[in-house]
Amino acid sequence: MTTLYLLSTAALFLFQRQLIYYPARNAPSPVEAGFDGVTEHALTAADGTRVVLWYAPAEPGAATILYFQGKGGEIADRPKRWAAYRAAGLGVAFLSYRGYGGSDGSPTEAGLHQDADAALDWLLAQGIPANQIAVVGESLGTGVATRLAADREVGALILEAPYTSLADVAARRFPWVPARLLILDPFPSLDHISAVEEPLLVLHGTADTRVPTAMGQALHDAAPGPKEIRLFPGVGHVDLFGPTIWAEEIRFLRAHLPS
């Protein structure tokens, strides 16, 4: 039994990033993927990794969304989200993490934070004011979004099914191993949320078995700035990401960002 335990623990440690990141590398063009009004840009992260950004500008006076996806697939899989934001007049920037879609490299926590910085720097270089950029994170992307909003000036932070840390999620999923000691990419959002002074919106389903609602509540409670939380009864993790929450995000941005 001891040998089996050690072998299973070692396997989890060695292959943990395959459990955290599920990238697709199909990399269709925006037109092939059903996106409209997109220009594609190649950005260079601080370590030299080339990453892809899809962008469409905002209508006059509207905010721009910088979106960080969940762990699976690629940005090309999300045309309905893009269309919802665009229909509201918002500017939209979808970042393809390193190792996802047409971006180079392999995903790690440190690497994704560098990619996020490069995306924000690019938007600022286009003349978009920081206070009109809303950072949106979906599931895994909430850790990227929270760290970016804690470290940099932005206009708002929106978190969809956020976790306190991936270490906490791993500890729930694998209670028989010391997951918090073994995880390489902990994404400790709860440690960073106290530095987020911008308006915060947390969206979470009450039937989420992957990331408990209590984690989203804990992030909301620890944030110092203006904040809202919207809980959706009976909604699970994957079912959360759809038109209902996108409409909530649009409402929130119209109420909190300058026009």
Q: What is the dihedral of CA 195, 197, 199, 200, to 10 degrees?
A: 20
CB of 60 closer than 8 Å to CB of 109: no
Q: What is the largest CA-CA distance in the chain?
A: 65
Provide DSSP, 196-229. --S-EEEEEETT-SSS-HHHHHHHHHH--SSEEE
CA separation, residue 200 to residues 25, 91, 197 (Å): 32, 19, 8
Helices (H), 157-242: 166-173, 179-182, 189-192, 213-222
CB of 159 closer than 8 Å to CB of 169: no
Residues carrying an active site annotation: 139, 208, 237
Q: How far apart are CA 38 and CA 48, in angstroms?
A: 24
Whose CA is closest to 174, among 61, 11, 33? 11
Q: Three-class SS of residue 27?
A: coil
Whose CA is closest to 74, among 37, 27, 112? 27
What is the 8-class DSSP label of residue 57? Answer: P
